[in-house]
Amino acid sequence: MGTGRNTVFSCAANFLRGRKCIFCGSFQVLHTSRGYVKCQLCGKSKSLSRLRREIAILQGFYQLQPAYRLARDLSVDVKVVTRVYQRLREALFHLAELEGGKLKGEIELDEAYFGGNRKGKRGRAAAGKSVVFGLLERESRVYTKVVESVSADELMRHIQAKTRKGSVYYTDAFRGYQSLKRYGKHHTINHSKAFVSRQRIKNHINGIEGFWSYAKHILYHYRGVSKYHFPMYLKEIEYRFNHRTENLFKRFLKIYFGYVSP
């Protein structure tokens, strides 16, 4: 575990030592008498102590540590941690929305309910819950959207906006997907009988259901998220999933500080 962690966080070593500019990646930096690191290339400067604190907070964000717990561990005000978390989540929200074009190929579709105090049937008795529509391109990425309802019109609107016509769609037997055949091939699986069709081994939605489990596992770390902030947390999880094969901590550094140099 130690080796893995060191590999993940090693990208921050030169920043923490004040040898490299966090904004442009230049090694042409000077240490000022006030404890700042000043870049001779881009001209920007930053307090080294504040830089180290923010990088430590980003490490906690990467490790899914709740703000209150990280604040206690770092002996800082929880508002300081929350500010960094909030700023990064806002950036991730917009990046997740902007990334990539339309999903294509084999696409799994499903809805999920998050939060609330009681379980309910699909589209009913979902008091207090956030309704999320998910689209997953197999072997690739996922796109999620908090929706007002799971009406056919609402679902078709997002499908048309986020997928290429002619794709192959996999869904459960929910009636809201009945008009999908207008956009491409549509295969359904009846969960009351089986989770995978025996006739077609590809006929399943295990991928998107796996993503729902992944999302709920991450949200469990935070012990409850308000409905107002939920969309930002959801997009953070979407971003983590879509970049799961990359060094996420390095990405978070670049996004937070605007650092774009390799």
| Position 230 in a domain | no
The pair phi, psi for residue 74, each rounded to 5°, is: -90, -5
One domain for residues 166 and 251 = no
| Position 240 in a domain | no
One domain for residues 90 and 119 = no
One domain for residues 85 and 133 = no
One domain for residues 93 and 114 = no
pLDDT of residue 124: 46
Q: How many domains does the chain have?
A: 2
One domain for residues 52 and 124 = no
| Position 152 in a domain | yes
One domain for residues 120 and 219 = yes
Can you give the residue range of the structural domain that contains 40? 2-98+246-257
pLDDT of residue 14: 96
Buried b (16+ CB within 10 A) or exposed e, 116-150: eeeeeeeeeebeebbbbbbbbbbeebbbbbebeeb
One domain for residues 151 and 86 = no
pLDDT of residue 43: 95
| Position 174 in a domain | yes
pLDDT of residue 117: 62
pLDDT of residue 1: 38
One domain for residues 92 and 118 = no
One domain for residues 92 and 113 = no
One domain for residues 82 and 114 = no
One domain for residues 134 and 216 = yes
Residues 81-124: tens digit of each pLDDT: 999 999 999 999 999 999 878 999 999 999 999 986 655 555 54
Residue 236: CB atoms within 10 A of its CB come to 23
pLDDT of residue 249: 97
| Position 39 in a domain | yes
Q: Which residues of the chain have pLDDT under 50?
A: 1-2, 124-125, 197
| Position 78 in a domain | yes
| Position 239 in a domain | no
One domain for residues 206 and 124 = yes
- pTM to 2 decimal places: 0.89
| Position 262 in a domain | no
pLDDT of residue 107: 97
